[in-house]
Amino acid sequence: MIDPDIIKRCQQEDLSAYDELYRAAGKKALWTAYLLAGRMNIAEDIVQEVFFQCFRNIRKLKKPELFQVWFNSILVRTCWHMVSKEKKKPVLSFEAENLTELKSEEDVLEKVESHHINNIIREAVNSLKPSMRSTVVLYYYNNLTLSEIAKVLGCFQGTVKSRLHYAKKVLQKELKKELSRRRVYL
């Protein structure tokens, strides 16, 4: 949760408050954009654009305590706008050079297995329709309430519940399918 005092200071054009806001929200915004876009280079561009819009329009925010909802609305809209321009499937890569830092063969195997599992989950989330993916990321990663997500996405709270319900079913089906494939290879 961002301190509403920082938002008020930003609205008064306090430059140090802009820095504080970026430090407080930047990392989570980047990770959210990455989860939604699937590619880090696009996520970085999204975050840059989102903070530009945020700083340019922060004076228009009437209730500083609603910053998180307002900010996430900008983030999600910007993300889907920029992703639709790319029209490419997310690229997932594993940097082999990171393996050289590990001390033992068990560490390497554990790292590879962990990366593989993360890729399976990421691919399953990326297979969701954009509206369901946004809902899942905002709910599970950003810890927004159903009401806040409804405001961010401009829909009813019941729609958010429905999207979460169907997203869980799709993810469960995809993960079971992948798990059954893996058992065949083991």
Name, in order, each residue with C-beta under 8 angstroms of 94's C-beta and a sequence gap of 6 or more: 112, 115, 119
Q: What percentage of the chain exceeds 90 in pLDDT?
A: 53
Q: Fold match between 1-88 and 97-186?
A: no
What's the pLDDT at 94? 42
Class of domain 97-186: mainly alpha
Instruction: Enter the DSSP assignment of 13.
Output: T
- Please state the rounded mean pLDDT for residues 106-133: 75
Q: How far apart are CA 27 and CA 29, in angstroms?
A: 5
Q: What percentage of the chain exceeds 70 in pLDDT?
A: 81
Q: How far apart are CA 74 and CA 4, in angstroms?
A: 18
Residue with tokens 């369901």: 132
What's the pLDDT at 20? 94
The domain 1-88 is placed in CATH, from the list 1.10.1740.10, 1.10.8.60, 3.40.50.150, 3.30.230.10, at 1.10.1740.10
Domain residue limits, the chain: 1-88, 97-186
pLDDT tens digits for 83-92? 887 755 444 4
- Please state the rounded mean pLDDT for residues 100-116: 60
pLDDT tens digits for 38-95? 888 889 999 999 999 999 999 999 999 999 999 999 999 999 888 887 755 444 444 4
Residue 166: pLDDT above 50? yes
What's the pLDDT at 98? 47
What's the pLDDT at 179? 72
CB 175 within 8 A of CB 117: no
